[in-house]
Amino acid sequence: MSKIAIIIGSTRPGRKAADVAHWVYQIAAKRSDAEFELVDIADYNLPLYDEPIPPAMGTYKHEHTIVWSEKIQSFDGYVFVTPEYNHSTSAVLKNAIDFLYREWNDKAVGFVSYGSAGGTRAVEHLRQIAGELKLADVQAQVSLSLFNDFENFSVLKPDPKQEASVGNMLNQVVAWSGALKSLRK
């Protein structure tokens, strides 16, 4: 059975990413085709990238990188939950991604984004990053509008149709995660 991380991609005070990720997790937890785990970047206290050797080498000096590496390596696929900040993803998510290389390779990734335009521009950037990391990004994505899926732009109240969008994205992440296992052996 594939193991999928739902990564909370913001550490900003008052962030909505944790609420969105928990909502995705509640939907995912009803499934029996994969194991899902919430991973909060805030729990790893990653500084601005500080490794002296490029991550593609897989040689890490700092304990925080080793701990992050072990966590990310343990998964077969990922769901990145990202806000859209200034037409892109959060700096903290990009930084956390950049700490590693091989740990991401030949795995699937799906996206759940939110913002005034549904966070779609953040996902556009993440798809480019995924390609460089040999992450197979799935076609289906979930885009939550601050206007339609949040009450007063702050309380998550997703349109009921969004649950089907999450299910579709998870179907693809789980399927691709299983299909890519042979590449990781």
Confidence at residue 185, expressed as pLDDT on a 0 to 100 scale: 81
Average pLDDT of the residues in 62-91? 98
Beta-bridge partner residues of 8: 40, 81
Q: Name residue 61's amino acid.
A: K
Find the CATH number of the domain harbouring 166: 3.40.50.360
Cβ count within 10 A of residue 136: 20
User: Per residue in 24-64, pLDDT tens?
Assistant: 999 999 999 999 999 999 999 999 999 999 999 999 999 99
Kindly tell me if the per-residue pLDDT of 3 is higher than 90.
yes
Count up the domains in the chain and report the number: 1
> Is residue 73 within 8 Å of 99, Cβ to Cβ?
no
Q: Name residue 104's amino acid.
A: W
Kindly tell me if the per-residue pLDDT of 122 is higher than 90.
yes
Residues spanned by the domain of 88: 2-184
Confidence at residue 160, expressed as pLDDT on a 0 to 100 scale: 95
Confidence at residue 46, expressed as pLDDT on a 0 to 100 scale: 98
Average pLDDT of the residues in 128-133? 98
Q: What is the dihedral of CA 35, 47, 69, 22, to 10 degrees?
A: 0
SS3 131: helix
* pTM for the model: 0.97
Cα separation, 144 vs 84, whole angstroms: 10
Beta-bridge partner residues of 144: 114
